[in-house]
Structures are given as structure tokens and as C-alpha cells.
Amino acid sequence: MTTYVLIPGACHGGWCFDDLAAALRAEGHRVLTPTLTGVAERAHLAHAGVNLETHIADVIAEMQAQHVTDAVLAGHSYGGMVITAVADRIPLQVDSLVYLDAFVPRDGDSVWTLTDDGQHTWYAGVDATGYGVPPLPFFDDRATAHPLASLMQPIRLRDDLSRFRLDYVYATKWEGESPFTATFERVRTDPAWRTHVLDGAHNLMRDNHSDLVRILLGAAGG
């Protein structure tokens, strides 16, 4: 049995992985899908101080409480920032990392520095609180504002990712240029990575369910 820890992207809760989690559990695996502080059903905890470090702490606390070892961490979009830091902080509890059309930061990077001008415009359009980035119109109707500070805060890493099994999943169906193209181009020529190109939109959980099940099962291959 493998333990999968699936981390959602901006504005979404762990429910975005419901179908994927059910498929993995049907194969006999344990799946955790935490919702990050200040987002979705935890939106009532939002405040100006919620940042990337808050979300890293969320996941580490969940993994420690659940006695998780040898985990496959998968992050969608913004979730790539979180799983990178979690693996860096508690490497003995992590076996593999899977990035689902997600950011792969190096020390000192932030979502803001890794993304493009279109995403910058979205982040800058904060809601009336001054610290919440509102969900885009096509998001799931359960989506809520996302803490701006988590998108701006630089990540602090002590090591690289070479000790882990690494998979990157790239979605091709973006309107215009994908904000993840630069990340994908960086990892696809690195022999440490297995890369996968899928003919789906950014919401790969919806468009490429079977492909993700296959890739995630493969990430637990030892």
C-alpha cells in the first residue's frame, strides 16, 4: 500500500481530487487530500498572514499526524510549491513527487517569479479584503479566494530534488501560452525527470483522469 498526498492548486480544496482519490483507493492505496488554510471549506481561516509557510506547515502536520512514510506527493498548479518544500523539510517521509501542470521552484523562487504576465494580472486583482485572489469564472463553484501572500512569498529550500522519483505532467490545452511552459522546458531535458504530455486543459483531474491514475500508480513503483 502506498500513501498518496494530493495538494490542490490555488482557490481549490481537496475535493478537486475526489474522483482521482477514489480510483487510487480502489487499487488498495491510502489517499490524503488536505485543504489548505484559508481556502475552500477552510476559507473562514483566511487572514493577511496566511502564506506559503502556512500551507507547508498544514501538509507536514497532516503527514505527521497520519504517520505517513514513503509518500507519493502530488501537487496541482500552486500545489507544486507546497510539495517541493514539504519534501525538502521531511525527506525521510517522501519517496516520489508528481507535479500536475505545476510549478517546480528552486530556492528563492515564488509563484510570482515563476509565472507570466497574465497570471500577474489575475493575482493583482485582489478582492475587497486586500489579500484574497478571487477564483476565476471557470473554476469549480466551490472555489474561493486564495491568499495572495502564498503566491508572493519566496520558497526556502536546503537541497535539490535529486533524491526523489520525479514526474512532471504537462497540459497542452491552454488558451494562449501556458504559464507552466518554462517550468516544463526546464525539467523535460533533465534525466532525473519522467515527463508526460497530456492533451487536456489545466484541470487534468477532469480531462485526463485515467492518465493521472496511471501516472500516479507508476510513481509508486519503487
Residues 49 and 149 sit within 8 Å (Cβ to Cβ): yes
Residues 182 and 104 sit within 8 Å (Cβ to Cβ): no
Sequence-ordered strand ranges (E) for the chain: 3-7, 30-32, 71-76, 94-100, 132-133, 146-147, 165-171, 193-198
Q: Which of 77, 96, 110, 150 is catalytic?
A: 77
Q: Which residue has the cell 529550500?
A: 157
Give the span between the Cα atoms of 199 and 151, in whole angstroms: 27
Active site residue 77: yes
CA distances in angstroms from 44 to 18, 38, 186, listed in the order given: 22, 6, 37
Give every CB contact of residue 109 below 8 A, 6+ residues apart in sequence.
103, 154, 155
Residues 125 and 186 sit within 8 Å (Cβ to Cβ): no
Residues 213 and 23 sit within 8 Å (Cβ to Cβ): yes
- Active site members: 77
